[in-house]
Chain A
Amino acid sequence: MNKAKKNNAIEKTETGIEGFDLISEGGLPKGRTTLIAGTSGSAKTVFAVQFLSEGIIKKDEPGVFVTFEEPPEDIRKNVISLGWDVAKWEQEGKWAFVDASPSIGEDHVIAGEYDLGALLARIEYAVKRIGATRISMDSLGSSFARFSEAGLVRNELFKIAVAVKQMGVTAIITAERTEEYGDIARFGIEEFVADNVIILRNVLESEKRRRTMEILKFRGTSHQKGEYPFTVIKNVGIVAIPLSGIELKQRSSTVRISSGNAELDKMCGGGFFRDSIILVSGATGCGKTMLSAAFAAEATKNQQRALLLAFEESREQLFRNASGWGIDFEKMENDGILKVVCRYPEAEGLEDHLIIMKSIIRDFKPHRVIVDSLSALERVSTVKGFREFVIALTSFIKHQEVAGLFTSTTGELMGGTSVTEAHISTITDTIILLRYVEMFGEMRRGITALKMRGSMHDKDIREFNIDGKGMHIGKSFSNVTGILSGHPVFAAPEEIDRVRDLFKEA
């Protein structure tokens, strides 16, 4: 980002950690030391390992890992599930451990003055031996427990921090915190590396864990401010979700695609736009899934691919229901037109869902993405987390230039809106409302296009019914008012004529 402007300023080293480089506006300050502080379980070690791993994988930059806590064997074992083969890199001379971890039975007697000069010599040796440009030290604080002379250890560690700075390598030092919101680190380690501080948090919020990272300061260079959610996933490691890094630069297409229902297309002024976000809102059982299925099935006609992410129903249920509307999902899947992914909302945290959804979209490259339903995902997250999720997902889908259709369940049977809508309505381009209308002791269904960005659309609330061939949209409820508020009232035809004439010019 604006590299030209910063020619004389501090350069940054791309970490390769997804999302982090956006938040940090280019990575960690090059040749400097950054403190990563966090409570236990906040993924400090993962960050430290990933910093070196990504350097090796993406940029062929060797790295030294100084471990004060876990022995190297444990680290090798622990990170293999994240896709990092440390042992292999060690053989290739790209990774070197400096093992400063305590080993069992290693007792010592102290008999006189000492210093930690040997540790520094070992670090310098390892850096020189493999030509390292990155170094991670995890975690500095734990060395305090090993020696009784805290003052001396502090001094020595400070010396090491200074020496590392002089080596010209980009370094990470991790340190323990005791509280999520309190002192930066234990033992005052932050004073060693006052230049750059990143805080990793693992906050418990309404019984759900939420990981966030915050760049507290980057001396002499810019970064995004505030906390950003992140997650740790298999074979990838840390993935941060940079919300403010998302730019509204999606191209808008005027190409229309069919909703899978000719009448609905007509209502929307000729179909949905190709790269728009469509929200379908309605009470339970009023036809949202059916509308989604029709939208997916439409892909067949245009040699497109559709991705259906289902969070409410199982595969079997979904396939059976679809066949009830005359749609053969199984054949579509075999033809490679459709991919159905069913997951329990509770199976993962929302951040993980987002990452998984993104990677499926990247791999399958669909033209249409359907999420049924977005509101089911709402229950596994906090309000804040959900809002961030929706923003991140919609912007990602828009960037891929595909159409996204989300369904949202309203709480009330008639009328009403859902929280989902409140979060997403400004992001969506099209909102379709499906509503029950009670008429003479009968539940009928109504549909309306509430919003259709950039296009004329039908303002009527029309009746529709569902049969073995799908949805059929009929005439408008022209003599009923109050459908959306949930209190349908019949108006006499004369009254309607009167209202219509009210705005006519005389």
Chain B
Amino acid sequence: MNKFRLRLYITGKTPKSERAIANLKEICKKELEGLYELQIIDVLESPQLAEDEKILATPALIKDLPPPLRRIIGDLSNSEKVLLGLDLSPVTSGNQRKDRGR
């Protein structure tokens, strides 16, 4: 399995941000133990990075690797959607992922 490179954008240390971090870490631990790199970016501290990536809504998770690039918005409390967004959905196999819901 390819290594996952993830970036999580948050805006300040709000409860929503904290929840997103905790949720993501839990999912990664379960599904991607030892197979991921995670970078957490606070938009308030590095607004230019948010500008470059055109981030509007936070928390926002971006999966750079493996391709394709995916964006997941929200506090990641819906872990089923997160897995779907990361192309890690247990139900669908590789070729059928195109028709995933939004």
* Interface residues of A, Cβ cutoff 8 Å to B: 98-101, 103, 106-122, 124-126, 143, 146-147
- In the bound complex, CA of A110 to CA of B82 (Å): 8
15 examples of A-B residue contacts, CB within 8 angstroms: A100-B56, A111-B72, A112-B20, A112-B23, A112-B76, A114-B16, A115-B11, A116-B58, A118-B11, A118-B57, A120-B11, A121-B11, A122-B47, A122-B55, A143-B56
Contacts of B20 in A (CB 8 A): 112
Taking A109-B85, A125-B47 as contacts, is the C-beta distance between A115 and B102 under 8 angstroms?
Answer: no
Contact (Cβ within 8 A) B77 A112: yes
Nearest 8 A/B pairs, CB to CB = A112-B74, A125-B47, A117-B11, A109-B85, A111-B81, A112-B75, A112-B77, A108-B71
Say how far B83's CB is from chain A's closest CB, in angstroms: 9
* Interface residues of B, Cβ cutoff 8 Å to A: 9, 11-12, 14, 16, 19-20, 23, 43-44, 47-48, 50-51, 54-60, 70-79, 81-82, 84-85, 100, 102
Contact (Cβ within 8 A) A109 B102: yes
Question: From A117, which residue of chain B is reached at the shortest CB distance?
Answer: B11
Contacts of B59 in A (CB 8 A): 112, 114
- In the bound complex, CA of A124 to CA of B47 (Å): 9
Say how far A351's CB is from chain B's closest CB, in angstroms: 38
Question: From B71, which residue of chain A is reached at the shortest CB distance?
Answer: A108
Contacts of A116 in B (CB 8 A): 56-58
Taking A109-B84, A112-B20, A125-B48 as contacts, is the C-beta distance between A117 and B12 under 8 angstroms?
Answer: yes
- In the bound complex, CA of A98 to CA of B85 (Å): 26
Contact (Cβ within 8 A) B50 A111: no
- In the bound complex, CA of A101 to CA of B19 (Å): 28
Say how far B62's CB is from chain A's closest CB, in angstroms: 10
Q: Is the interface of A mostly helix, strand, loop or mixed?
A: mixed
Contacts of B81 in A (CB 8 A): 109-112
Contacts of A103 in B (CB 8 A): 54
Contacts of B11 in A (CB 8 A): 115, 117-118, 120-121
- In the bound complex, CA of A118 to CA of B10 (Å): 8
- In the bound complex, CA of A164 to CA of B51 (Å): 18
Contacts of B16 in A (CB 8 A): 113-115
Contact (Cβ within 8 A) A118 B77: no
Contact (Cβ within 8 A) B74 A99: no
* Residue from A106, A109, A126 with most neighbouring chain B CB atoms (10 Å): A109
Taking A111-B76, A122-B47 as contacts, is the C-beta distance between A147 and B54 under 8 angstroms?
Answer: no
Contact (Cβ within 8 A) B44 A111: no
- In the bound complex, CA of A100 to CA of B54 (Å): 6
Contact (Cβ within 8 A) A118 B74: no
Q: A108-B102, A122-B55, A143-B56 are known; give 4 further A-B pairs, CB within 8 A.
A: A107-B71, A108-B72, A109-B100, A112-B19
Taking A109-B84, A111-B76, A111-B78 as contacts, is the C-beta distance between A118 and B70 under 8 angstroms?
Answer: no
Question: From B41, which residue of chain A is reached at the shortest CB distance?
Answer: A118
Say how far B54's CB is from chain A's closest CB, in angstroms: 5
- In the bound complex, CA of A119 to CA of B102 (Å): 22
Contacts of B100 in A (CB 8 A): 109
Contact (Cβ within 8 A) A119 B74: no
- In the bound complex, CA of A147 to CA of B12 (Å): 22
Contacts of A101 in B (CB 8 A): 54
* Residue from A113, A119, A147 with most neighbouring chain B CB atoms (10 Å): A113
Contacts of A109 in B (CB 8 A): 70-73, 81-82, 84-85, 100, 102
Contacts of B74 in A (CB 8 A): 110-114
Question: From B15, which residue of chain A is reached at the shortest CB distance?
Answer: A113
- In the bound complex, CA of A445 to CA of B3 (Å): 97
- In the bound complex, CA of A111 to CA of B9 (Å): 14
Contacts of A117 in B (CB 8 A): 11-12, 14, 43, 58
- In the bound complex, CA of A489 to CA of B60 (Å): 91
- In the bound complex, CA of A109 to CA of B48 (Å): 23
- In the bound complex, CA of A116 to CA of B60 (Å): 10
Q: Which of A107, A118, A146, A147 contacts B58 (CB 8 A)?
A: A118
Taking A109-B71, A109-B84 as contacts, is the C-beta distance between A121 and B78 under 8 angstroms?
Answer: no
Say how far B61's CB is from chain A's closest CB, in angstroms: 8
Contacts of B84 in A (CB 8 A): 109
Question: From A152, which residue of chain B is reached at the shortest CB distance?
Answer: B57
Taking A108-B102, A109-B70, A110-B73 as contacts, is the C-beta distance between A115 and B57 under 8 angstroms?
Answer: yes
Question: From A112, which residue of chain B is reached at the shortest CB distance?
Answer: B74
Contacts of A118 in B (CB 8 A): 9, 11, 43, 50, 55-58, 60
Q: Which of B19, B23, B47, B79 contacts A121 (CB 8 A)?
A: B47
Question: From A153, which residue of chain B is reached at the shortest CB distance?
Answer: B57
Contacts of B55 in A (CB 8 A): 118-119, 122
Say how far A159's CB is from chain B's closest CB, in angstroms: 12
Say how far B22's CB is from chain A's closest CB, in angstroms: 12
Contact (Cβ within 8 A) A113 B77: yes
Contact (Cβ within 8 A) B50 A114: no
Contacts of B51 in A (CB 8 A): 98-99, 122, 125-126
Contacts of A100 in B (CB 8 A): 54, 56
Contacts of B72 in A (CB 8 A): 108-111
